[in-house]
C-alpha cells in the first residue's frame, strides 16, 4: 500500500478552503492509501498565537478531522509535538538546506514584504521543519494546496541532497495537487486565497459557521457587472470562485456546474451556492457536536502518537547514525 502524508496548521478556525482543498480529499485517500495526517502545531507558533485560543483551535481541528470522516482505525492521526523527533530532524535538515533556497520561498517572501521585519526565525525555517514532517515517514505522496507545492519541491531537493551526501535514506515524495478545490478564494476579495488567518472574516466560510451566517456571507460575495455565469477567473473571479466551490462540494466538473446555472441571475445563483455549502457542512457540524467533548479525541491522538513515533524513532536513529552523530556502536 502506498503511503500518503499531510499536515494542517490550525492557526485559526478551519475554513471551507481547508475542507475542499485538503480534508475532503484526505477522507477519500484513506480508502486507498496508508494515510498519515497530523496537526502541525509547531508550524502554528511561527507567528505568535494567543495560548488559550491556540489550544482551542487545536482541539477543534482534531474534532473536525474526525467529523469530516477521517477514521482513526484507518489513518494515523497525530499531533506534531507528540512526536518530538520532528523538531530534531528539522534541525538536521536545516543544516542540509541553503539560505538561498529559503530566501526563494514565495510564502516567506510575501510575508517578509508585508510584515516590516517582525518575522520570526521559525517562520523563515518553517520549510525545513515541514521537510522533516514529510521525510520522517517516507510517504509516496503529499497532498497539498498549490500554495504549498513549492515547499514540497524543496523537500524533494533536501532529500536528494541528503541521499547523495550520505547514502539513500529518504524516499522522494511527490506533491499531489487537486484540480478542483485546489484554491478556494475569499468571497469578499476573490483574487486572494480564502485563509483562516484572514483579518476580516467576511470572505471566509468557517466549517462551524451557522447556516444563516453562511447564507449572509455568500449573498454579499463580491461579483462583477458581466451578469453571466462563466468560469473566467481572470475577468470574473468572484463568480468563478462560486462555481469552483459548487464543483468541489458536489464532486462535479466546472463545465457541468456552469451548464446547470448558466441562466441564473447572480442573486439566485448565490442562494443555490449557499444551500449547497450548508448541505455540505450540516452533517459535519452535527458530528462535531457529538465528539468535541468525548474521549475519542484523546484516544485518537494517543493511538496516532504511538504509531507515528515508532516510525519516527527508527528514522531519526538511522539519520543520526549516517551523519556520524552517534557514538555507540550499532
C-beta closer to ligand ATP: residue 8 or 301: 8
Using the rule CB under 6 A, is 280 a contact of ligand LTN?
Answer: no
Three-state SS letters, the chain: CCEEEEEECCCCCCEHHHHHHHHHHHHHHHHHCEEEEEECHHHHCCCCCCHHHHHHHHHHHHHHHHHCCCCCCCCEEEEHHHCCHHHHHHHHHHCCCCHHHHHCCHHHHHHHHHCCCCCCHHHHHHHHHHHHHHHCCCCCEEECCHHHHHHHHHHHHHHHHHHHHCCCCCCCCEEECCCCCCCCECCCCCCCECCCCCCCCCCCCECCCCHHHHHHHHHCCCCCCCCCCCCCCCCCHHHHHHHHHHHHHHCCCHHHHHHHHCCCCHHHHHHHHHHHHHHHHHHHHHHHHHHCCCCHHHHHHHHHHHHHHHHHHHHHHHHHHHHCCCCCCC
Q: Which of 3, 183, 217, 270 binds ligand ATP (CB under 6 A)?
A: 183
Taking residues 150 to 189 in sequence order and writing x for each that binds ligand LTN by CB under 6 A, - otherwise, the string is -x--------------------------------------
What is the Cα–Cα distance from 97 to 102, expressed in whole angstroms? 8
Identify which range of 61-69, 87-95, 144-152, 189-197 contacts ligand LTN by CB under 6 A: 144-152
Q: Using CB atoms within 10 A of its CB, is residue 177 exposed (0-12), middle (13-18) or buried (19+)?
A: middle
Q: From the list 3, 24, 43, 270, which residue makes contact with ligand LTN (rule: CB under 6 A)? A: 43
Does 196 participate in catalysis according to the annotation? yes
d(CA 104, CA 108): 8
Q: Which is nearer to ligand ATP, 25 or 319 (CB)?
A: 25
Out of 28, 115, 197, 212, the only residue in the binding site for ligand ATP (CB under 6 A) is 197
315 classed as catalytic: no
Q: Among residues 5, 8, 27, 37, which is the contact residue for ligand ATP, using CB under 6 A?
A: 8
User: Which range binds ligand LTN by CB under 6 A, 95-103, 140-148, 160-168, 264-272?
Assistant: 140-148
Q: What residues between 20 and 39 interact with ligand ATP by CB under 6 A?
A: 20-22
20 lies in the site for ligand LTN, by CB under 6 A = no
Q: Based on the shown chain and the rule CB under 6 A, indicate whether residue 6 belongs to the binding site for ligand LTN.
A: yes
Question: Site for ligand LTN (CB under 6 A): which residue of 13, 85, 133, 209?
Answer: 133
Catalytic residue among 193, 217, 305, 315: 193
Give the active site residue among 9, 55, 59, 111.
111
9 binds ligand LTN (CB under 6 A): yes
**Interaction between residue 148 and ligand LTN (CB under 6 A):** yes
Q: Which of 4, 5, 18, 27 binds ligand ATP (CB under 6 A)?
A: 18
Catalytic residue among 9, 196, 217, 315: 196
Contact pick of 7, 17, 90, 237 for ligand LTN (by CB under 6 A): 7
5 binds ligand ATP (CB under 6 A): no
Which residues, 6+ apart, have CB-to-CB distance to 149 below 8 Å? Answer: 175, 177
Active site residues: 111, 193, 196
Which spans of this chain sit near ligand ATP (rule: CB under 6 A)?
Answer: 8-9, 11, 15, 17-18, 20-22, 144-145, 147-148, 181-184, 193-197
Amino acid at each position: 500500500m502506498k503511503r500518503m502524508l499531510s499536515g494542517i496548521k490550525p492557526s485559526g478556525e478551519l475554513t471551507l478552503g481547508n475542507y475542499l482543498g485538503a480534508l475532503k480529499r484526505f477522507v477519500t485517500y484513506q480508502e486507498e492509501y496508508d494515510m498519515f495526517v497530523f496537526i502541525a502545531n509547531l508550524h502554528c507558533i511561527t507567528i505568535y498565537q494567543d495560548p488559550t485560543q491556540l489550544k482551542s483551535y487545536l482541539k477543534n481541528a482534531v474534532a473536525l478531522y474526525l467529523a469530516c470522516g477521517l477514521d482513526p482505525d484507518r489513518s494515523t492521526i497525530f499531533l506534531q509535538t507528540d512526536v518530538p523527533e520532528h523538531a530534531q530532524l528539522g534541525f538536521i535538515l536545516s543544516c542540509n538546506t541553503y539560505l538561498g533556497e529559503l530566501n526563494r520561498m514565495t510564502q516567506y517572501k510575501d510575508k517578509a514584504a508585508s510584515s516590516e521585519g517582525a518575522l520570526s526565525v521559525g517562520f523563515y525555517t518553517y520549510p525545513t521543519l515541514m521537510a522533516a514532517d514529510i521525510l520522517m515517514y517516507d510517504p509516496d505522496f503529499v497532498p497539498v494546496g498549490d500554495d504549498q507545492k513549492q515547499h514540497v519541491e524543496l523537500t524533494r531537493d533536501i532529500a536528494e541532497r541528503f541521499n547523495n551526501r550520505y547514502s539513500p535514506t529518504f524516499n522522494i515524495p511527490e506533491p499531489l495537487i487537486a484540480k478542483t478545490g485546489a484554491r478556494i478564494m475569499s468571497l469578499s476579495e476573490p483574487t486572494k486565497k480564502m485563509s483562516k488567518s484572514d483579518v476580516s472574516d467576511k470572505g471566509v466560510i468557517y466549517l462551524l459557521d451557522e447556516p444563516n451566517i453562511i447564507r449572509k456571507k455568500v449573498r454579499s460575495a463580491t461579483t462583477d457587472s458581466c451578469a453571466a455565469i462563466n468560469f473566467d477567473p481572470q475577468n470574473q473571479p468572484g463568480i468563478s470562485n462560486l462555481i469552483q466551490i459548487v464543483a468541489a462540494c458536489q464532486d462535479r466538473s466546472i463545465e457541468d456546474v456552469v451548464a446547470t446555472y448558466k441562466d441564473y441571475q447572480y442573486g439566485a445563483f448565490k442562494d443555490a451556492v449557499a444551500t449547497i455549502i450548508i448541505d455540505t457542512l450540516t452533517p459535519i457540524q452535527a458530528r462535531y457536536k457529538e465528539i468535541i467533548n468525548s474521549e475519542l479525541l484523546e484516544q485518537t491522538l494517543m493511538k496516532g502518537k504511538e504509531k507515528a513515533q515508532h516510525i519516527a524513532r527508527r528514522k531519526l536513529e538511522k539519520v543520526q547514525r549516517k551523519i556520524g552523530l552517534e557514538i555507540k556502536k550499532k
